Every structure is written in structure tokens, then in C-alpha cells.
Structure 1
Amino acid sequence: MGSLDLPHASSFKGGSETFLRNVFENILKTYLRKNPTANTIWELVQSVDNEKICYDHFTFQTLKVDGYGIDSVSSFFMDYGYKFETGIDFPKKKVRGCWLSPPDVHVPEGGHGLGNGPLPRVVISELRVDELSPESQEIIRKYLIPEGGKQAVLSSALGSLIWEKPTYADFYQLAKESEYGAWVLIHGYTMNHLAFAVHRFKHRFSDIGCIKVYLEEKGFKLNSDGGILKVSQDGLLIQMSSISEKLAVEFADGVTETTPASYIEFTQRLVLPQFKDLPHHQIKEYHRRDDFDANNANKIFESARFTSDT
């Protein structure tokens, strides 16, 4: 994908890890408050066998225009020790993405959640606005305020738009060309989705297939694009996501319509072949498949569908 020219990461200093964890906690609370179905699944996962959860990644969507793109989110996390890894292009969607690996932090035995568990990877994508039609570019640009991208992470934590709420006419017009762009226009920098680290579960949910059966029995809709269980080419990364619910939104012109909200994902990273003989209790995160898979990621995008399931 080429260099994104991101700044060098710094290491933790003083109490900054606590601050970073608090920011994640607030991003999570906002996401759960805005997405009732995701919240229900999140609560169910924890309730089964008192499961202690860890997160694989948090994902954000941005607009590459006037400082609102990937850098608007990545700069904050890189200031707290995150490191740029690799990028993925999605040419048909006019989107590119990257992921950031978390800094090394001490995780106590049994540490979990955002309080004292492993820090999640951060996945950020951006819509290449300058590749859209002039009409779509005009819609996006008329809402964005100068320097507003600097408030991206604060916006995510608060769940508030940086710009004024759009009209339904603008939202609908943009959605015809870019559902991705329309989603960001109405939801802003609210976290697009989180992913549980299935391989860190201890009990009934330690296999993603068991989670699939459980959620289907509970009546949740799962993203079936490319199969419900999306498997990387090497077979070592397995992902599954819910279908985002559609929630009523009141637009600036008084129209109320349902639009896709966020969804929730489950990610299982299998042990790399060279470590397959390690005793289970010795296996660490670095013994497992890292990175992401372009084909899987492209299918996961379809979880926030604008059209009805057939």
C-alpha cells in the first residue's frame, strides 16, 4: 500500500498507560451505548461461564480529506506506543486501511478486559474522498470544519459528531456512491466495531465454531458473505461478525430513517506451524498468526449493510 508517513511511536511514560486504557474504556462505552445488539452480544459472552474477555482489535473508519483520514486517529495511539504495521487496499470501495500493534505492557496472570488485559490492535481505514464524484466530494466537504480531524479520538470517546448532523438528502445521495462515506457522515468517529480475541477465552467460547452455534441458537444474524466463518488463505486466521442492526436516525432536515449502526466481531488466531508442539500453557500471542487478511477484511466490511438481507 505504500508508506503512510506516520510518526515514530513513543514508549509509555509515567501514568500514560492508565490514560490510554481510560480512553479505550470510554470509546467502548460509547460504542456499546449506541449499539444495543452489539451490547447484548457483549454481555452474553461475558455471562457464559463468567468468561473473562480480551479484545483483538478496535476498528475505526475515517475520511481521507483535510486532515480527517487515518492520521487523525493513528497519531493519538502512536503517541502512546502503538506502531504502524501493514496496510490493505480495497480498490472497489476506494478505501485503504492499516493496523497498529500495541506497545508491550505488563499483563498479570488472568488479566482481562481493558483494565489490566492485553491492549487491542487498532485498525483504521480511510475513504479516498478525492476519487469520488464531484457531487459526493462536495457533500462531504461542506460538513467538515477546518482542523476538525484533530478531535477524532475525542469524538469517538464522546460519541458526538465533529460536524453538524447531515440532511437525509445528502446522506442518501452519498450512500448511492459510497455506503462507507455515508456511514461515516452520520456516525462520525464512533468505533465501527470491536473484535473479541477468541483464542484468549478459557471456557465454552474458546473455539469460534462454538460461538457461531451459540449466537445462531440465540437468533442473532451473522454476516454470511464469503461464509459465516471467514478463513484466511493460510487457515490460521478465522473471523466472524454479526450483521449491524438498523437504528432510527433523525436527520437535519427532519427526516427519520433507519441506517446501519455498528456490529461486533470474533477473531481466532491459531498457533503458527513452527510452534505447534508447544504446550498450551506456554503459548503466547506472538506464537499465533498475526496481521490481517485482505479477503477476510473485505467480507467483514459487508457487516454494515445498507440493503436488506435476502
Structure 2
Amino acid sequence: MDINQFFDRLWDDYVAMTPQAKRIKAAFEERGERVVNDHVAFRTLALEPIRLKSLEPHLLAVGYTPYEPYDFKDKKLSAYGYLPPEQEMPRVFVSELRVNELSPAAAKILEGLAAQVDPKRVEDPSILWAGPLWEPISYKDYQTLVDESEYAAWVASIGIRPNHFTIGVNYLTQTTSVEEVLQVVESLGYQVNASGGRVKGTPEVLLEQGSTLADRMPIQFAGGETHEVPTCYYEFAKRYPTESGELYPGFVAASADKIFESTDAKR
């Protein structure tokens, strides 16, 4: 599988879970803009066989290079950024939840999910758009996870797949700031994640970001119960040049911390 096929499969899965993204992308293209994907992000659990390092080989196989690690102490997350092999290909951000730092009750739920995953399934790149690799959890367990870790509840219900794609604001010619992009998005009827401010980051940290609130859709839980939960969202990023003149290639943990909340069930 080459890198273009890889991202085509990711996009198809993503827009199936995130109808807003298809409409927002089309709206910018109708304005004459060229929409370039700045980065894609994934979430997983720090449990075998789906921990971050078990997923990483699929990125390396299509030419990605590890860039730098990130830590989110309050959300109990570790993450890594990856640089693409070609200019204008998206960066990748993968995070994992440190399950051993959760309460015994929450950890037991997540350990039960990971135990259902066939290690051989993880060897195929389609793992990155597989969705849940386990039987549906109960809605009671889902609520237990929401109360302790929104991230945990999201992974348990949505599985392993892109949680967002990102429009690179640097490539837009009419809406050249993140705030202007957010205003266009709101004019289409979508809500913006205002946690930590509408625009997270500053030119001084070389990255500004904003995002929608995640779409929501009905998910079937154990016993046939169906409830609406957050799925995925669309992000918008503007990068600033470093001293070398190249656009900043990484991520800003303080901003990403608030972007994560785009999928919060309690909002």
C-alpha cells in the first residue's frame, strides 16, 4: 500500500464518521481554496497489542519519521509526532492513554477490551481505520470511563481510527487566519471548540489551532442499547516559520491538550 492509498482509506473512514468534514472541505473548495491536510491524529491505549509502538510500524512503512514525544500529565497521555516523507503530505500525531494511571475500575474495563484484540490483526495497516476491535462495552462501563477519562470513553466506543484531519491554513488564500476559518465554519452551522479559547496557540509558539466540536452518532452498546456519542472533528492549523525559515513542524502540547476536548461527551 502506497502513501496515497493509505490516506485515501483513512479519509474514507473519517468522513463516514464525520460528515461535517466533507461539507466543510467542499465549502472551502467552492470558494476557490486549495485544501491541504496539515496532519492526522490517532488515539490508542498503552496496552498490548495496540500500544503506540505497535501501530508505529505502519507509519514507518509509508515513509514517516519519528519527530518528538509529548506528554499530557493531566489527561494521562503520551504522544509522538511523525514527519512525512514528502512536502505537503500530512504530519501524523499518535497518542496513547497510560491505562496504568487510571483507577482499577476504569483500567479493568480497558484491559478487557485490549485482551480481545488479535495480535495478528495489528500487523495489517488497516488497523488504523479498523474502529472497535472488541465487542461493544456496556453503556454503564462507557459512563464509568466518561467520568474518569473522556479519551478512554472515546477509544472504547469509537475504536482505532483517525479522530481528526486538519486543514492547513497556510495554504488558504482568502481566509488566512484560524479565526477567519472558524467564522466560515460557524456560518455553515457547526460549533467551534472554545476550550482554552477559540484559537489555541500564538505566533510566538509557532502554531495556532482551532477545531469544530465532534460530530455525534448513535452507537450500539452491549445488550442492544443505542446511545449517541461524539465521533470525530475537523481541525484548522496555521504554522509559523522557525529561525531557519521553514514552517514549524511539530505540535504544541498546551494547545493539543485543549483540542483533545473536541470529542468530550460532557459539553
- After TM superposition, the score normalised by the length of structure 1 is 0.80
**Residues 148 and 307 of structure 1: CA distance in aligned 2, closer, same or farther (over 3 Å):** farther
What does residue 188 of structure 2 align with? 218
Unaligned runs of 5+ residues in structure 2 are none
* Structure of higher CA gyration radius: 1
What does residue 234 of structure 1 align with? 204
What does residue 59 of structure 1 align with? 41
**Residues 243 and 151 of structure 1: CA distance in aligned 2, closer, same or farther (over 3 Å):** farther
What does residue 27 of structure 1 align with? 10
Residue 97 of structure 1 deviates from its aligned partner by 0.8
Please tell me whether residue 295 in structure 1 is matched to residue 254 in structure 2. yes
Instruction: Give runs of aligned pairs for residues 30-41 of structure 1, distance below 5 A.
Output: 30-41=13-24
What does residue 11 of structure 1 align with? none
Matches of 1:134 and 1:232 in 2, distance apart? 39
SS at match of 1:126: strand
**Residues 165 and 220 of structure 1: CA distance in aligned 2, closer, same or farther (over 3 Å):** same
SS at match of 1:141: helix
% identical equivalent positions: 29
SS at match of 1:195: strand
Matches of 2:71 and 2:253 in 1, distance apart? 8
Residue 273 of structure 1 deviates from its aligned partner by 5.1
Residue 298 of structure 1 deviates from its aligned partner by 0.7
1:181 to 152, 156, 160: 152
Alignment coverage as a number of residue pairs: 265
What does residue 169 of structure 1 align with? 140
Instruction: Give the letter for the 1:176 counterpart.
Output: D
Residue 274 of structure 1 deviates from its aligned partner by 5.7
Instruction: Give the letter for the 2:149 counterpart.
Output: S
1:245 to 215, 220, 223: 215
SS at match of 1:42: helix
Could you report, residue by residue, the CA deviation over 1:181-202 in whole angstroms, capped at 9, with x for unpaired residues? 110011111211111111022x
What does residue 192 of structure 1 align with? 163
SS at match of 1:92: coil
What does residue 272 of structure 1 align with? 242
- After TM superposition, the score normalised by the length of structure 2 is 0.92
Matches of 2:123 and 2:176 in 1, distance apart? 37
Matches of 1:161 and 1:171 in 2, distance apart? 14
Could you report, residue by residue, the CA deviation over 1:152-204 in whole angstroms, capped at 9, with x for unpaired residues? 741333x4422222221221222221111110011111211111111022x31
What does residue 64 of structure 2 align with? 82
Matches of 1:69 and 1:149 in 2, distance apart? 13
Residue 229 of structure 1 deviates from its aligned partner by 1.0
Unaligned runs of 5+ residues in structure 1 are 1-15, 108-117, 276-286
What does residue 122 of structure 2 align with? 150
List structure 1 runs of 4+ shifted beyond 4 angstroms: none
SS at match of 1:38: helix
**Residues 35 and 151 of structure 1: CA distance in aligned 2, closer, same or farther (over 3 Å):** farther
**Residues 274 and 94 of structure 1: CA distance in aligned 2, closer, same or farther (over 3 Å):** closer
Residue 121 of structure 1 deviates from its aligned partner by 0.6
Instruction: Give the letter for the 1:99 counterpart.
Output: G
Instruction: Give the letter for the 1:154 counterpart.
Output: S
1:43 to 20, 26, 42: 26
Instruction: Give the letter for the 2:7 counterpart.
Output: F
